[in-house]
Amino acid sequence: MDLVTLDSLIERASDFPPLPMAVVDAGEAYVLEGAREATDAGLLQPVLLGRKPRIEKIAAEIGFSLAEVTLIDAGGEKESASKGVELVAEGQVHGLMKGWIHTDVLMHPVLKHLRTERRVSHVFLAELPAYPKLLYVTDAAINIAPDLKQKAAIVQNAVDLARLLGVPLPKVAALSALEIVKPEIASTIDAACLSKMAQRRQIHHAVVDGPLAFDNAISKDAARIKQIDSDVAGEVDILLAPDLNAGNILAKDLAYLAQATLAGIVVGAKVPIVLPSRSDPPKGRLASCAIAVLMHHLWEQFRRENETQGEPG
């Protein structure tokens, strides 16, 4: 199977029709530049929500023609978020993108009205010069201090996303500060339980090992030196952070110190949700939109195939 890269995801998504997506609180230059990039790439059909005069003014300043773009006037963050959720409920859009709005304000109506049977969580995809494949980092944006049950759901979300995007059997490292079970550190106990849950098929279609510290998750040499026998070490696809603080710091460390390009997506809601950052490069923004496109067009087929195999996705 060909190696999955951010460029390959963008190319793959371009084979599908543009995804109607509500850009929530779009009145900011960075937000509109991202929407324009994704529109020009044929990935999105944006619906811009926010203060109409401001959006029109900024769009004119950056040369973004709104002639074929739907623009809906909304008075502020909360109104924009509510209208975005309404558009999803009405079937007018099939995705949401965070604009100039706080994440918690956007997610409040999402969690109230767009939940599914799955837990809502966030996954970063990191492309690094120093690692041979994409790294999935979860959760760095939604779940603050997940317990064991919630971590299992977060892992399953990331596993299913990785499989959807072309990783047949994802390898998951449940991270902690060290690689032995130490009762005083709760994340080591959770990690060990997650490893056993995967062995017992409570987590499907993945190899999970933990607790693993970051060095022996990412490096076979580090694992060998510490005499760790692991099928995940040095070949990890998914890094499960013990909490949001650790996940967020890890993702930003990868971006700023290891030259990673990050793409990200919220999974588990009725539609994919993109939470871009001002610091995201164009490739990262496009890849995030591409992931949303692929989720929308491929998820139902993926789910049916998993049901046919007798295991939930």
Q: Residue 156: give its domain's CATH number.
A: 3.40.718.10
pLDDT bracket for residue 307 (50, 70, 90):
low
Find the length of the chain.
Answer: 313
134 plus 90 within the same structural domain: no
Q: What is the pLDDT, as a whole number, of residue 303? A: 78
54 vs 76: which has the higher pLDDT? 54
pLDDT (mean) for 71-93: 94
**What is the residue-averaged pLDDT of the chain?**
93
99 plus 4 within the same structural domain: yes
Q: Residue 53: give its domain's CATH number.
A: 3.40.50.10950
DSSP secondary structure of 201-220: TSS-S-EEEEEE-HHHHH-H
pLDDT (mean) for 12-25: 96
Quote the CA–CA distance of 288 and 272 in Å, as a whole number.
Answer: 10
pLDDT (mean) for 168-182: 96
Nearest Cα to Cα of residue 20 among 102, 114, 84: 84
Q: What is the pLDDT, as a whole number, of residue 305? A: 79
The whole domain housing 297 covers 1-115+269-313
301 vs 273: which has the higher pLDDT? 273
In this predicted model, what pLDDT tens digit does every residue of 132-155 receive, in sequence order? 999 999 999 999 999 999 999 999
The domain tally of the chain equals 2
pLDDT bracket for residue 232 (50, 70, 90):
very high
Amino acid identity at 175? L
pLDDT bracket for residue 309 (50, 70, 90):
low
In this predicted structure, the answer to whether residue 313 has a pLDDT above a threshold of 50 is no
110 plus 149 within the same structural domain: no
